[in-house]
Structure 1
Amino acid sequence: MRLAFVASETDVAQRARAALIKRYGSVEPGDAEIIVSLGGDGFMLRTLHTYRTLGVPFYGMKLGRLGFLMNQHELDALAERIERAHPAVLHPLEMHSTCCDGAEHRALAFNEVAMLRQSNQAAHMRVSLNGEVKLEELVCDGILVSTPAGSTAYNLSAHGPILPLDANVLALTPISPFRPRRWRGAILPHATRVGFETKDPNKRPISATADFHEVRDVRKVEVKQSRRNAVRLLFDPEHNLQQRILDEQFAL
């Protein structure tokens, strides 16, 4: 089994990488059958973005503060663990943003796309689904479009719903909504194209962030699921992602 070990810059992750390479050997990511990511959830997201085009599965080991996307770190029996692992297919979101100066940007998000106010002024934005305006004016601190994998992260902190991994839906969740006061978001079919347009870009600037890729001073943004950029994560049977997402709904 050709393994490539990549690790965050922390001392503990680097020491674990050295020990694993000594035990199992290592190849370059482009030559690997499996990419083993050592760190926390943030580093796993960066690993997915960096190596997703290689078309190989990813197996994570928790060596950071958060490890929802990771397995437990153990030195022994790695090949056996990988062979028994359950795959989870993640479909990212594709963000297409247009800035006030006309510049266009595209980025992928495996967790969420977040529209956030840039100043002390609340954001005023128009929200549309598949080209049809659903909210003419949403006044808020921001709004999220979340994947099922990301629904237990920022989306949950914003009081959004937890989504089963195979539900084929997305979560649309406002952050501190002021108007409409009673609107608390929506659950959308996965093929929905979600559009945002700032209504006062000079006085109330807005940024758009896809995972960790931020674009500032956006005028409009479209978000949709990207089926062609899917990745596979491997999980130990006792820590499979589907069960973790289910269990999170009963966490106290």
Structure 2
Amino acid sequence: MRREVRLTEMGQGPGPRVLLLPGLGARGTGFQALAHQLAQAARPVLVDYPEGAHAACGAQALSEQVAQAAGPVDAVVASSFGGMVAAHLAVSGKVRGVAFLGSFTRPEHLGLRGGLLALMGPIAVLGRPGRAAASLASWRLVSGEQVAEVVPTTALERMTTLRRAFAIGTEPPPEALRGLPISCVCLQGDRDVLVPPATLERLAAALPPGTPRHLLRGAGHVPYFTHPEECARLLQPWLAALAPARDSENAA
């Protein structure tokens, strides 16, 4: 059981150091394919959140744990609920860039689904998501050995998802990033059944004017997992504009 944030460094080059933040019940290892694609232009870092009772905290407290574990970073690539964590990191000045992949910074960006966000916890425990749920989220057939990269599969992962889902509403959402000197980019799958495409417009309204938005045709909720090459192609110009933070090469 992870009691603290776990980091897996995927690159040691001169590019910007970038955290890859998963969603509510996903594993950081689901980002591996994208991390390999980005490693030539950046220093990707896979992030896995704490498990068990340590998961009973909202996005703000989780962002503080991530920041403490990661040290200096340049940017974040965030999926789903990870967008809330990333927004808190940006508001607190810990990062200078955020890429949103099928994500949001406030529950209301999800429309009516936002009021049901806490239900993702009981669904994870009682519904026991498996291959069918992973394939629906991915919008393509997921092999048995890949299911754990998309949905919580162990009892501990499901209970962790339950605790975190219930904790989201105990903290205020992050402030809007619209007025901050931060570089953002948005990628959204047009087949996303969990974070609908309409979320993209609501999210963009809270981000700096002119933030690029990309709708990925045929992609579901986890485009970093199913479409790593396309995501990397769209993220590389954004990464190229981010200079590495001072002393980030000394970060653990």
Superposition TM-score tier, normalisation by shorter sequence? under 0.3
- Which of the two has greater strand per residue? 1
More relative contact order, 1 or 2 (CA 8 Å, 6+ apart): 2
Indicate the structure (1 or 2) with the bigger Cα radius of gyration: 1
TM-score of the pair, normalised by structure 2:
0.28
- Which of the two has greater helix per residue? 2
